Amino acid sequence: MKVFIVHAHAEPQSFNGALTRHAKEVLEAAGHEVKISDLYEMQFDPVSDRHNFTSQKDGEYFKQQIEEMYATEVKGFAPEIQAEMEKLEECDVLIFQFPLWWFSMPAILKGWVDRVFAMGRIYGGGKWYDNGVFKGKKAMLSLTTGGPETMYSATGLNGDIHQILFPIQHGILRFVGFDVLPPFIVWSASRLGDEERKAYLEGYTQRLLSIEETDAIAYPSLSDYDEKFQLKK
């Protein structure tokens, strides 16, 4: 199994850093191949514009999707974007590792998605959701929160964590075809003691070693929607 971890935390000694290092150790010990893109270490530029490309379709007016489709045809992606696309295309499992900031992913990770998930290559032309490019592959979020689990319940102050993560899990990962596994969440990461951290790492070990057997989150299929993209009654 080939696993690609996209890591988004500026501090190597953070618990996010520990989770990524732990994942690499556990998966490689089990015989799997692991590649990591540490976005801060790479100094990955999250700004999506013409520097995504070495090619140019329209020099007068920039429309990213048009340039993405053209770059797909002529192999015109910038080297750093091409490298990330190849890691993505080669993997069997994609893991996003990040802290939950302002109810979403850090900007550097969102920028990675904006630049790497290119129309024509990663999606488009009817290749989405059930028919997506990554159909049959798995993806999972591993994240930390600042607050306790109770804050992220259906009746909690911050709202249901599943609704908070829906734009990432469904709107990004499922959109391009991945089977999205339930997230691994470390609650109140900055307030954990050594024993609690150890317990989370042990729990993550079990999640990682059971990826191939874990059922994906059940989302409606395209056939469940009508011509106006409303769920059929």
- pLDDT tens figures, 148-191: 999 999 999 999 999 999 999 999 999 999 999 999 999 999 99
C-alpha angle 30/136/1, rounded to 5°? 15
C-alpha angle 46/216/166, rounded to 5°? 45
Type of residue numbered 201: L
Distance, in Å, from the CA atom of 32 to the CA atom of 132, rounded to the nearest integer, reads: 24
Is residue 13 very low, low, confident or very high in pLDDT (cuts 50, 70, 90)? very high
Closest-CA residue to 174 (of 221, 126, 213)? 221
The helix, strand and coil proportions of the chain, stated in percent and rounded to the nearest 5, come to 45, 20, 40
- The mean of the pLDDT values for the chain is 97
Per-residue pLDDT tens for 188-214? Answer: 999 999 999 999 999 999 999 999 999
How remote is the C-alpha of 77 from its chain's centroid? 20
Domains of the chain (ranges, CATH numbers):
2-224 (3.40.50.360)
